[in-house]
Amino acid sequence: MRRAGIVQTRYQSLEIWKSDLATEFRVTGAIHASYHRKRYLTGLAWDLIAAAALLRSDGAPKSILMLGLAGGTAFRILRHLLPDCQLTAIDIDSEIVELAREHMDLDSLNIEVVTTDAYPWLEKNRRTFDVVFDDIYLAGKTDVFRSRSWTVDILSHLRRAVAPGGILAVNLVIGKGHRTMQSHTRKMLQSHFATVRSLKTSDSMNEILVAGDAVATRTRLDKYDDFFHNWRDRMFWNRIEVKRLASFVQP
């Protein structure tokens, strides 16, 4: 790939990398969004995000809310798997959304996009969705970071947006510098939901947590195997691991 440009948005310095078939947005050296004309999966966090949204116990979701959109990589997978699903995204960075429209064919996904600060929007929101996904990360000088830890109030707003029978999910960067946030979020979900499942893959530095009264197991993903015709897509899909977390008991 070749670097095609650098754009300084209000919130981040973004490098645009391109090849004949693919485009990547890179922030602080990491891939922030990915688009390929012939493939859907990357082996990275977006595969896990898409898979997590399918673990609603009552079946495929009819509506998904994503807090944090960037280039829409996960929604590209989900639009392929769920062509009739209502997709809604909240993102504070209007400039990266416009870049995704220009370089990643975002408009073809038919997403309702709201460009605003997600948590204040969530406080006022009264709509409900089958899946609510928190993927809010900001870019620092050398790494990404979550804008704030979940509080009881934030979790309450998130839960209110989840329709009956729905699920709440969150993307967590893991590894050095992120363990405190990972541990805090795990405990919050384990203490408030009957079921919490963790999704990981060997190639990604992320963990996705999915919580609800009930959350489907890994076998739910098997029904989507035939949607992926490219061998790389099938390989990445089959690498996704889903495990149940033990209940957290308050001391």
Q: Which residue has the tokens 């408030």?
A: 192
Q: Are 69 and 41 in contact (CB under 8 A)?
A: no
Q: Spell out the residues 6+ positions from residue 128 whose beta carbon is closer than 8 angstroms to its own.
A: 63, 160, 161, 162, 163, 166
> Distance (Å, rounded) from C-alpha 110 to C-alpha 129?
17
Q: Spell out the residues 6+ positions from residue 64 whose beta carbon is closer than 8 angstroms to its own.
A: 53, 75, 78, 85, 86, 87, 88, 129, 130, 131, 132, 133
Please pick, among 135, 153, 203, 226, the residue that the annotation labels catalytic: 135
Query: Which residue spans within the chain are E strands per DSSP?
Result: 2-8, 13-18, 22-27, 30-36, 63-67, 86-90, 112-114, 129-134, 138-139, 144-145, 162-173, 195-200, 206-212, 241-244
135 belongs to the catalytic site: yes
Q: Spell out the residues 6+ positions from residue 233 whose beta carbon is closer than 8 angstroms to its own.
A: 39, 40, 41
Indicate the SS3 state at residue 213.
Answer: coil
> Any idea which residues carry the catalytic annotation?
135
